[in-house]
Structure 1
Amino acid sequence: MDLEECRREIDVLDRDLTKILERRMQVVAEVAAYKKEHHMEIYDPRRERQVLDKIANLTVQKELSPYLRRIYQCIMDESKKYEREHMGL
C-alpha cells in the first residue's frame, strides 16, 4: 500500500471512530445522569481497571496493548470531564 492509500484508509477509519466515540460520549452523558440521580462518584477505579484490562485482553496484536491502554485512559479521562460537566460539577 502506498502513502496515499494508507491515508485514505486512515481517513475512513477516523470517520468510523468519530461516530463510535460520539456515541460513546452520548452514553457517558446517560451514565452521568444516573450517577447524579443516585449520588454516585464519577471516578470508579475498579471499573476503570476492568475497562483497561478488557482492552488489553481484546487486543490481538499484544505489542499494541500498552498503546491502546493509554488511548483508552485518555478516552476515560475525557469521559470523566464530560460527566462532571453534565453533573454540573
Structure 2
Amino acid sequence: MELETCRHEIDRLDQELTKLLEARMKIVAQVAAYKKEHHLEIYDPRRERAVLDKIAGLAADKELAPYLQTIYRCIMDESKNYERKRME
C-alpha cells in the first residue's frame, strides 16, 4: 500500500474515532452527573482494571493489546479530567 493511501485511510478512521470518542465523552458527562448526585469518587480502580482487561480480550491481534490498553489509559485519564470539570 502506498503512503498516501495509508494516510487517507488513517484520516478516514480518525473521523470515525472522533465521532465515537465524542459520543463516549457525552456518556462520561452523564456518569459525572450521577457520581456528583450520589457523592461517588471519580476514580474507580476496579472499573478501570475491568476496562483494560476487556480491551485486551477484544483485541483480535494480541500483539496490539498492550498498545490498545495504553490508548485506553489515556482515554480514561481524559474522561476523569472531564468528569472533574463537570462535577465542579
* TM-score (norm: length of structure 1): 0.98
- Which residue identity does 1:51 align to in structure 2? V
1:26-45 correspondence runs (5 A): 26-45=26-45
Over residues 26-55 of structure 1, what are the superposed CA-to-partner deviations in whole Å (9 max), with x where a residue is unaligned? 000000000000000000000000000000
Residue in 1 that maps onto 2:6: 6
Q: Distance in 1 between matches of 2:16 and 2:65?
A: 21
CA drift at 1:25? 0.4
Matches within 5 A, 1:2-81: 2-81=2-81
Instruction: Give 4+ residue runs of structure 1 displaced > 6 Å after superposition.
Output: none
Q: Which runs of 5+ in 2 are unaligned?
A: none
Percentage of identical aligned residues: 72
Matched position secondary structure for 1:17: helix
Which TM-score applies when normalising by structure 2?
A: 0.99
Deviations 1:6-40 (A, max 9, x none): 00000000000000000000000000000000000
| 1:53-77 C-alpha deviation (Å, 9 max, x unpaired) | 0000000100001100000000000
The two structures, once aligned, show a CA RMSD in angstroms of 0.3
